[in-house]
Amino acid sequence: MRRQHAVDIFMWVLCGIALALVILPAVDIILDVLIHSAGSWSLGLLTTTTFGEGGGLLNAWTGTLVLMFLLFLLAAPIGVLGGIYLAEYSSLRGARILRFASEMLAGVPSIVVGYVIYLVFVIVFGWSFSVLAGVLALTIMVTPYIMKSTEAALNQVPSNLREGGSALGLSHSLTIRRILLPIALPGILNGLVVAEAIGMGETAPLIYTAGWSNSLPTLQLIHQPIGYLTYAVWTYINQPSAQAHQLAYSAAALLLIFLLLLIGLSRWVGTRASRYTSRFQV
C-alpha cells in the first residue's frame, strides 16, 4: 500500500517535470521577445518599410501574410484531399504509394527542399527569387503534415457513425461529406493551423526561393522577391547595431502575435462549423 503510494507520487513528479519542460521554454521565449522588443513598439514599425538596418517591418509582415494566404490556397486542398484519400481509400494501391511518398517528403530537411526549388524553378525555369517559388517550397514542407493530421482526424470518427451511413445506403462520398468530415473538422482545422504555423516559422527554404525585398509585396507571382518576418529575425539579430536587434525582436514579436491570431481564428471557425456536433460525445 505504502509502496503504491510512493510510486503514485513519483509518477506525479515525473509528469510535473515533463509539464515544466514544455511550459518553461515557451514562457521564456515569449518573455524574452516581449522584453527586448518593448522599446521599439510604435505605429511606424507597422507602417514603414525596411531600409538598411532600420525602418519598419511593413514589407515583412505583409509579405508573410501574402505567403501564408497563398500557402493556404495551395497546401490546404492538396493536404486535406490527400488525407481523405489515405483514410477512406486506404486499401487501394494508390494510397500505399501516396503514404510512402508523403512520409518520405516529411523527412526531407527544409533546406534541401529550398535548394531543389531553387535549382529547378528559380534557376532552370528562370522564375528568379519569387513569391511562387517560396510558396511551392512551403507547400512541399507542410502538405505531408496536413495529410497526416486529416487522416488521423478521420480515423478517430467512431465506427458506428460510418456504419450508420452505410447501413442507410448512403454513398461513400456522401458519408464522408455529411457524416465524417463534420466530426473530423476540428482535428483537420487544428492540423491546418499547425501547418500554417510551421510555414510561418520557416526561414531556410525561403531564403533560397523567395529572396528578400525591402519594398511592399506586389501581385506579381514570379520575377519579384518578397519580404517576410523570419528573414528579418534571422538577418538583423546577426548585425552589431542595437537598432537592428530591435528590428529582429520586433519581427519575432509580430510572428508570435500572428500565431495567436491564427489559433484564435481556427477556434472560431471550429465552433461555428461544428454547430451540430457541439454536444457530440464519442
Partner 1 sequence: MQNDLTKNRSNGQQPAETFPTAVSPLQAETGPAKEIISRVRTTGLHVGFGPREIIHDISVEFPQNQVTALLGPTGSGKTTLLRTLNRLNEMSSGFWMSGRVDLDGRDIYQDFSDVREVRRAVGMLFQRPNPFPQSIEENVAIGLRAHHIVPAPQIHQEVERQLINVGLWDAVGDKLDESPFGLSGGQQQLLCLARTLAVRPEVILLDEPTSSLDPISTQRVEDLVTRLKEKVTIIMVTHNVQQAARISDYIVFLNEGSLVEANWSREMFINTQNHIVEDFLTGRMG
Q: Which residues bind partner 1 (CB under 8 A)?
A: 158, 160-171, 174, 178-179, 182-183, 274-281
Nearest residue to 42 (alpha-carbon basis) of 58, 31, 30, 27? 58
Task: Answer whether 155's CB lies under 8 Å from 183's CB.
Answer: no
- For 251-275, the DSSP string reads HHHHHHHHHHHHHHHHHHHHHHHTT
Place of cell 515557451: 26
Spatial separation of the C-alpha atoms in residues 148 and 281, rounded to whole Å: 23
Place of cell 505531408: 144
CB nearer to partner 1: pick between 126 and 169: 169
We find the least distance from the C-beta atom of residue 179 to partner 1, in angstroms, to be 5
CB nearer to partner 1: pick between 4 and 91: 91
At 175, which amino acid appears? T
We find the least distance from the C-beta atom of residue 176 to partner 1, in angstroms, to be 12
Q: How big is the CA angle at 175 (ends 169 and 179), to the nearest 5 degrees?
A: 125
Spatial separation of the C-alpha atoms in residues 70 and 32, rounded to whole Å: 31
CB nearer to partner 1: pick between 8 and 163: 163
We find the least distance from the C-beta atom of residue 174 to partner 1, in angstroms, to be 6
We find the least distance from the C-beta atom of residue 150 to partner 1, in angstroms, to be 17
Task: Give φ, ψ of 111 to 5 degrees.
Answer: -70, -30
CB nearer to partner 1: pick between 170 and 256: 170
Q: Which three cell numbers stand for residue 282?
A: 464519442
We find the least distance from the C-beta atom of residue 180 to partner 1, in angstroms, to be 9
CB nearer to partner 1: pick between 95 and 106: 95
Spatial separation of the C-alpha atoms in residues 182 and 176, rounded to whole Å: 9
Task: Answer whether 53's CB lies under 8 Å from 243's CB.
Answer: yes
Cα of first residue to Cα of last residue in the chain, in angstroms, is: 35
Spatial separation of the C-alpha atoms in residues 278 and 236, rounded to whole Å: 46
CB nearer to partner 1: pick between 42 and 171: 171
CB nearer to partner 1: pick between 67 and 157: 157
We find the least distance from the C-beta atom of residue 162 to partner 1, in angstroms, to be 8
We find the least distance from the C-beta atom of residue 175 to partner 1, in angstroms, to be 9
